[in-house]
Chains A and B, each alone.
Chain A
Amino acid sequence: MKRDEWKTLGWATALLAVAALLPLTGDGYLISLGVSIAMYTVLATSWALFSGPTHYISLATAAFFGIGTYVMGSGIEVLPYWVLLPIAGLIGGVLAALVGLATLRLSGVYFVIFTLGLAEMTRQGVTWYQNQTGHKGTYVLTDLTDNDIYWQLLGLAALVYLVGWGIGRSRLGFALRIIGDDEDVARHVGINTALSKVALFVVSGAVAAIVGAIIAPRYVYIEPSTAFTPMLSFQVVIMALLGGTGRLWGPLVGVIPFTLLWEAISSSFPNQTTLLLGLSFLAIVYLLPGGFVGLYDRLKGRAAKRSAMA
């Protein structure tokens, strides 16, 4: 590793350590906000691992997330908690692989629609099944507190960053950047484009499912409309785009302000949240096409030019 990378690793570890201290404040509101931020950070970062380089917009986050919560909900009476997390990841990953193999040969637009449809279909499927069996929802009863959930999400975030960093340095990461630039060129330099895209989609699907499984105990009672809410998929996309997908840390700088803003909006205007979500989506796409990362790079480029002229 180069010196810069050690420095980045040091900073990241320090930030993580500071973040891990949050529950010590004992402030329930802060901790619950921390859970939201950690959750969206993991979701948006793993989403960007796939969508950043390939430019495929996936709206399937809710499908994987919901499956994760249901794995936890239906398994918690039978299997130990810690076994259910990898099972959720496995099921999410397998579903992502199947969806990926079926759709990633298609062009971007079809992929977006398909993923949206997938989330909706899974939700309807679970609802139908529950109606057949006479349930409305499922109870997830554990003795996990918000603090435990928060620390688990933080650990998962660290893992996602490590995986993302590893992919960025690997041939796979290089292949994805080439695919994102020009898929025909990628094929002609010898890249297996379908396999590369599916591999990353599997990572993001598995992570979203694990997040769902970790969050499930917090809901206590889960039903399809909360576990598979399409709003989640859109929020993840907006946050990742607000931060910018060009860098690993990009989504994080989108998640923090957006979660705080969201918190303020949903407490002050509980009936207009969807409308305001739509407006903020438009504003981000128009005003910040590259997200905060793009803005940062532009400012840095301008500063470099100015110092070159001076």
Chain B
Amino acid sequence: MMANTVISLRGATKQFGGLVAVDNVSFDVREHEVLGLIGPNGSGKSTTLNLISGALPATDGEISLRGGTITGLPARQIARKGVSRTFQLVRLLPSMNVLENVMAGGVFGHRRRWGQSAERHAMQVLEKIGMADKAKSRVGQLTYIDTKRVELARALSGEPEVLLLDEWLAGLNPTELSEGIDLIHRLRDEGRTIILVEHVMDAIRSLCDNCVVMSSGKKIAEGTTDDVLSDPEVIRAYLGDDDA
């Protein structure tokens, strides 16, 4: 493990009864790195993300954040140590407005603020993602990409060490998609550490420094994005034997 490793998985395993959803997976994420976690549907990417965020407890293996083990900790403690996430299906807080939704991520999280300071900070995050004018809107009035933006802003407002994005770009139309990619690009340029579960190939190519490829719960490839995407085994996993 290198000195600037933020997240490290060693033999992470998750079993649901007889099904091994994540099978002995190991990889490291370094500071300022954008890592793509890719693979066909049902390959265990989201489960891996859930193990890191503490949404699910790992059956075996070790996960550490900046050298300290976080395996087995509840989600709230992992969040406080600096892991923020978005969800595969957007989860906003329906009774609150946009600003309060964003504040929710910054009051109890890694860097904590309260009162005016929390509000100011949430406003700054909203400005950064281009939604300052909708701060007082109800979340029910938002377009789909805006709900995704709010969720991202909530994750950012705790100033996490690492950001986990679970198919954040899924379901966007072509215009929204290019806006979305630009937004993540800006986060990348800020030097954030991000793990990205993603299916959109354009996004993976333009955003990810490195990729980990999973298939049937196992890690089948790892390396720079270009190398990994031209790996015959990866192509086989995605497209089946005939096309390889």
Q: Which residues of A contact B (CB under 8 A)?
A: 171, 174-175, 177-178, 180-182, 184-185, 187-193
Contact = CB atoms under 8 A, between A and B. Distances in A.
Contact of A180 (B77, B95, B108): B95
B148 interface: no
Contact of A178 (B55, B85, B87, B104): B104
A189 B79 CA distance: 6
Contacts of B17: none
A189 B96 contact: no
A155 B33 CA distance: 59
Contact of A187 (B76, B95, B96): B76
B104 A187 contact: no
A78 to B, nearest CB: 44
B107 A174 contact: yes
Contact of B110 (A174, A178, A190): A190
Nearest to A53: B95
Contact of A189 (B54, B77, B94, B158): B158
Nearest to A174: B107
B7 to A, nearest CB: 16
A189 B91 contact: no
Contact of A181 (B85, B87, B93): B93
Interface string B80-108: 10001101000101111000000111011
A171 B85 contact: no
Interface size class of B (residues with CB under 8 A): 20 to 34
A56 B54 CA distance: 25
Given A174-B104, A178-B104, A193 B95 contact: no
Interface string B123-166: 00000000000000000000000000000001000100000000
Given A190-B79, A190-B109, 6 more contacts: A174-B103, A175-B107, A185-B93, A185-B104, A188-B76, A193-B76
A288 B105 CA distance: 33
Given A175-B108, A178-B104, A184-B55, A190 B94 contact: no
A171 to B, nearest CB: 6
Contacts of A180: 95
B76 A185 contact: no
A33 B14 CA distance: 61
Given A189-B105, A189-B108, A190-B108, A182 B76 contact: no
A188 B93 contact: no
27 contacts: A171-B107, A171-B114, A174-B103, A174-B104, A175-B107, A178-B93, A178-B104, A180-B95, A181-B93, A181-B95, A182-B93, A184-B91, A185-B87, A187-B54, A187-B55, A188-B76, A189-B79, A189-B84, A189-B107, A189-B108, A189-B109, A189-B158, A190-B77, A190-B108, A190-B109, A190-B110, A191-B108
Contacts of B103: 174
B129 to A, nearest CB: 17
Interface in B208-236: none
B122 interface: no
Contacts of B75: 187-188
Contacts of A189: 76, 79, 84, 104-105, 107-109, 154, 158
Nearest to A193: B76
Q: Which of A175, A181, A188 has the most CB of B within 10 A?
A: A188
B147 to A, nearest CB: 13
B108 A182 contact: no
B53 interface: yes
A190 B54 CA distance: 11
B95 A188 contact: no
B74 interface: yes
A188 B79 CA distance: 6
B55 A188 contact: yes
Contacts of B109: 189-190
The 3 residue pairs across chains A and B that have the minimum distance between CB atoms: A190-B108, A181-B93, A190-B79
Contacts of B79: 187-190
A133 B237 CA distance: 76
A135 B199 CA distance: 73
Nearest to B95: A181
A206 to B, nearest CB: 25
